Amino acid sequence: MKRIIPFLFTLGCSLAVTAVQSQTAEQLFKAAGSPVNPKVAITWNRYYDHAGIAEILKKIAAAHPELARLQSIGKSYEGRDIWCITITDFKKGNPDKKPGMYIDGNIHSNEIQGAEFAMYTAWYMTESFADNRFVQELLADKVFYIIPTINPDGRDSYMHQPNTASSPRSGMKQIDNDGDGLVDEDKYDDLDGDGNITQMRRRNPNGRYKIDPKDPRFMVRVGADEKGEYELLGGEGIDNDGDGRVNEDGYDFQYDPNRDWGWGWQPNYIQGGAYKYPFSLPENRAVMEFVFKHPNIAAAQSFHNSGGMILRGPGGQEDVGTYNAQDVQVYDMIGKKGEELLPGYKYLVVYKDLYSAYGGELDWFYAGRGIYTYSNELWTGYLMYMRELKGENELYNFDRDLLLGDGFVAWKEYDHPQYGKIEIGGFKKNTGRAHPGFLLESDAHRNMAFSVYHLYSTPKLTVQEIAEKDLGGGLKEVTAVISNERIMPTHSSQDVKNRIERPDYISLVTSGKILAGMRVENRDMNITSEQPNNPDTIEVPNIPGLGAVTVRWIIQGGGKYTVNVDSRKGGTASGTK
């Protein structure tokens, strides 16, 4: 018998391993638009905490060393790594010389799906590279810098601590919001221990609510001439300090990490949520330093939730003039394309269509760094039934019809130490703002495609023409045309106006002596503007989207010419004649 038991144990383990092995390549049939047999198999119908994110990123980098490199750009308030994965074809040039796109998510603790959407982009690019020519060409020319979460403390707090769908916002420690000198004594109390902070109600013949006869989960307000059955007591919790209010210490709503950026920043008494000074939060400061080290970033995307919006700045009406007509035209072209790619999403302007917000990430990236930036508010009720919402009961119906009741905690009695017999129930924290699992991958793919389109729209420069003209006396005129094949210029108008980045450099390499260099303002009329110093390298303030610039040199001798282009946000190009 002693011999049989080890054998059976070994056989059982062997069978268990065999049972969980993935299908062989021969058993799979590729669905269009999806990697068929990825090296890193990830399930995209769930959410991952900070440790889970780190593990996934490390697996992607290990599986695709020629396409992905992982680094920590800094530490969070509580000491967690802020991970950044760089995605490009490292065999095709220096990534820091390619037009780049920065992507982040989860700046607000409870807005979690941005991290999955950002990671999905890294995963899809690497796993599709082998058999997708478009991806190959994109990563040869461009680079993604992807930071799935810039609030890892808040993410773990949201996932692992009792919370509502809307808490917490920041990653900071709890504070004394009620001013009684005690911290955390009036925070959220998970009375029934299920990890969710739901609602409390109590029977009261003088209450103003009753149970909806069509759906017992839903509370409806009674009419002015009607007696109620219940009163609503607010979020699940206890009034620890005895002031008649529940949960007012809660998690720190006072400090909003998306009001901490260095453009249009206002103190907290003007802009609720501002912290001590711009970039006073370590996570935002780490991002700022990273962006300064990567002047090739031409495009940016920040993922939030919710509402189904593609947002651009300005956050405040005072900055309307900052977003000038040329840049707004680029924003509009990309934003309108986003509406096509993302059903139910609307392209909007923050201050005009929502509210005024100061010190936001959107404005700092664009106004402070000249980077075309969007903030997508992920998840829209449109996705529940693929139509516009018809009423306030839609989430209840969706939970019943498509989540099969998994998103709602049924009302149940509870003996409250202060309110007596009450009932606790309501939507779970993963319902209402976060995508349900079966819609997570679909919307991640669509938002990934929007980011890809945005990056694709960054400049692509080519040396379109090199022409030589003999001037006599051993002198020659060399004219070069540099074209930009994408809609985005090498410098936004905001960049040009404030000289954020250096001009584009167009240089000539030849065996002859370069006597003069100039920009050609009008080739037909031979109108030029000479550059008095350093004629070898002509400085051009901008190469317009879907446009070109013309430059010219006067040389003595020579015969073979190489024109090199070096643009911070437009990349490099070279041509020889």
229 φ, ψ (degrees, to nearest 5): -125, -25
Distance CA 259, CA 276 (A): 10
Instruction: Give the model's pLDDT for residue 2.
Output: 47
Give CA torsion, residues 386, 387, 393, 397, to 10 deg. Answer: -30
Helix extents (H) in 354-500 = 361-363, 369, 382-385, 394-401, 437-456, 493-498
Distance CA 154, CA 167 (A): 9
Distance CA 51, CA 251 (A): 22
Instruction: Give the model's pLDDT for residue 215.
Output: 93
Distance CA 573, CA 483 (A): 10
Instruction: Give the model's pLDDT for residue 57.
Output: 98
Residue 411's CB is within 10 A of a number of other CB atoms, namely 19
410 φ, ψ (degrees, to nearest 5): -60, 145
Instruction: Give the model's pLDDT for residue 189.
Output: 83
**Residue 551's closest CA among 559, 539, 561?**
539
The three-class DSSP label of residue 111 is coil
CB 149 within 8 A of CB 155: yes
CB 250 within 8 A of CB 165: no
Instruction: Give the model's pLDDT for residue 359.
Output: 96
Tell whether omega for the bond before 306 is within 30 degrees of 0, i.e. cis: yes
3-state helix, strand, coil in the chain (%, to 5): 30, 30, 45
Output Rg (C-alpha) for the chain, integer angstroms.
Answer: 29
Per-residue b or e along 252-288, where b marks 16 or more CB atoms closer than 10 Å to that residue's CB: bbbbbbbbbbbbbbbeeeebebbbeebbebbbbebbb
For residue 443 the two structure tokens come to 């919307």
Measured CA distances, 480 to 363, 509, 517, 562, 563 (Å): 36, 12, 11, 10, 8
The three-class DSSP label of residue 486 is coil
CB 477 within 8 A of CB 469: yes
Instruction: Give the model's pLDDT for residue 173.
Output: 54
For residue 63 the two structure tokens come to 């599986």
Q: What angle do CA 527, 528, 531 make, to 5 degrees?
A: 170
Per-residue pLDDT of the chain (577 residues; tens, 9 = 90+): 444 444 444 444 444 444 445 678 889 999 999 999 999 999 999 999 999 999 999 999 999 999 999 999 999 999 999 999 999 999 999 999 999 999 999 999 999 999 999 999 999 999 999 999 999 999 999 999 999 999 999 999 999 988 889 887 776 555 555 555 554 544 678 899 998 999 999 999 999 999 999 999 999 999 999 999 999 998 898 887 777 777 765 444 468 999 999 999 999 999 988 989 999 999 999 999 999 999 999 999 999 999 999 999 999 999 999 999 999 999 999 999 999 999 999 999 999 999 999 999 999 999 999 999 999 999 999 999 999 999 889 999 999 999 999 999 999 999 999 999 999 999 999 999 999 999 999 999 999 999 999 999 999 999 999 999 999 999 999 999 999 999 999 999 999 999 999 999 999 999 999 999 999 999 999 999 999 999 999 999 999 999 999 999 999 987 899 999 999 999 999 999 9
Which residue in this structure is represented by tokens 């999806």?
A: 34
472 bridge partner residues: 475
Q: Which DSSP helix (H) or strand (E) runs through 426?
A: strand 420-427
Q: CB neighbours of 385 closer than 8 A, spacing ≥ 6?
A: 394, 398
Instruction: Give the model's pLDDT for residue 243.
Output: 72
For residue 559 the two structure tokens come to 């015969």
Which residue in this structure is represented by tokens 């009008």?
A: 522
Q: How many helices (H) and strands (E) in the chain?
A: 13, 23
Instruction: Give the model's pLDDT for residue 455.
Output: 98
Distance CA 54, CA 47 (A): 13
- What domains are there in the chain, each with its CATH number? 175-250+390-427 (no CATH), 461-576 (2.60.40.10)
CB 88 within 8 A of CB 139: yes
Asked whether the CA dihedral 120, 123, 128, 133 is positive or negative, the reply is positive
Instruction: Give the model's pLDDT for residue 240.
Output: 75
How many residues does this entry show for the chain? 577
Distance CA 362, CA 414 (A): 45
Distance CA 359, CA 278 (A): 8
Instruction: Give the model's pLDDT for residue 185.
Output: 46
Q: How far is CA 240 from the centre of its chain?
A: 38
Which residue in this structure is represented by tokens 């990890």?
A: 195
Instruction: Give the model's pLDDT for residue 18.
Output: 43
**Residue 99's closest CA among 145, 146, 133?**
145
Instruction: Give the model's pLDDT for residue 251.
Output: 47
Q: CB neighbours of 62 closer than 8 A, spacing ≥ 6?
A: none
